[in-house]
Amino acid sequence: MNRPPLAASLLACTLIVLGSGLLSHCGETDQAGNAAYAHTQAIVAFGPRPPGSESLDKSRRYVSEALTKHGWITQAREFTSFTPKGQVTFTNLVARYAPDGDNPEVWTRPVQGILCAHLDSKLFDDQIFLGADDAASAVALILELAPDLARNDPAKAKQLELAFFDGEEAFGPSLTPRDGIYGSRRYAAAWRRQEHKPSFGILLDMIGHKDLSIAIPSDSPKHLADLLFKTANDLKQQNRFRRSPSPIIDDHVPLNNAGIPTIDIIGDFASANWWHNSRDNMDLISPRSLEISFQVVRTMLDELL
């Protein structure tokens, strides 16, 4: 491994104001957090990303191009589903590490794990919702984890599938079993029919907040929850990770129902004044929080792959 230890990685960052912009200036060992911050910023700059929007198409192309640079190949998987807005076309983006190029074997070989996040943002008619933490930051973190795996653990990279879901957000006020998680339901249904399923999944959502506080669902798979808490403790970040008192409807639910034990590493949004409103912008996002999330997830992947 060429990754620095977390203690060295989490150096204090200074902020430099240049005109109307804000630049983070951190030590070299904060490079994963800074890179993920830049990816978050790029995705947010496209604007709101509801299903079917030009901004979501641009975001999807950005993700695909960023992965392709590091030997990952992508597939856009389009489907339609009935919603409260009628029939809507969605597109999931899936990626696998294939430095030798695309061939049918890449998509048929067994994989051991899934690393995933949703790329869409919730549709609002009365406000501009950018979804910086929900969930551009999670997508951005995967865009930094993917090249790190390719550089340092290519054999492990080949055991992983990346998935970027469309339609996680409900068209109505809140997620229900019938409204929302459209992309993950479609994705999980395909795995349900497979003889050899991945042995685990890690879903990321809202992991870049400057006051990072992760609250995993109460019904998370025990071995994955235990590993998360052990990893956080080993990295001296245990105060940022806890268990929610209740289950959460999110993209992990269809995967668990399909027989793929999946943990939802999700920020504590229950009482947040920024959740699903215009405050969820780049002002919330911290390179340091992204660095912490990077190190925790990367260490978990080392143990699981």
User: So where are the chain's domains?
Assistant: 6-304
pLDDT, position 29: 64
**Sign of the torsion formed by the C-alpha atoms of 180, 58, 190 and 133:** negative
Tell how strand 214-216 and strand 200-205 pair up. unpaired
pLDDT, position 291: 98
Report the distance separating Cα 204 and Cα 296, nearest Å.
12
pLDDT, position 158: 97
pTM of the model: 0.91
Residues with Cβ < 8 Å from 85, sequence gap 6 or more?
171
State the CATH architecture for 6-304.
3-Layer(aba) Sandwich (3.40)
| Residues with pLDDT less than 70, the chain | 1-29
pLDDT, position 3: 47
pLDDT, position 270: 84
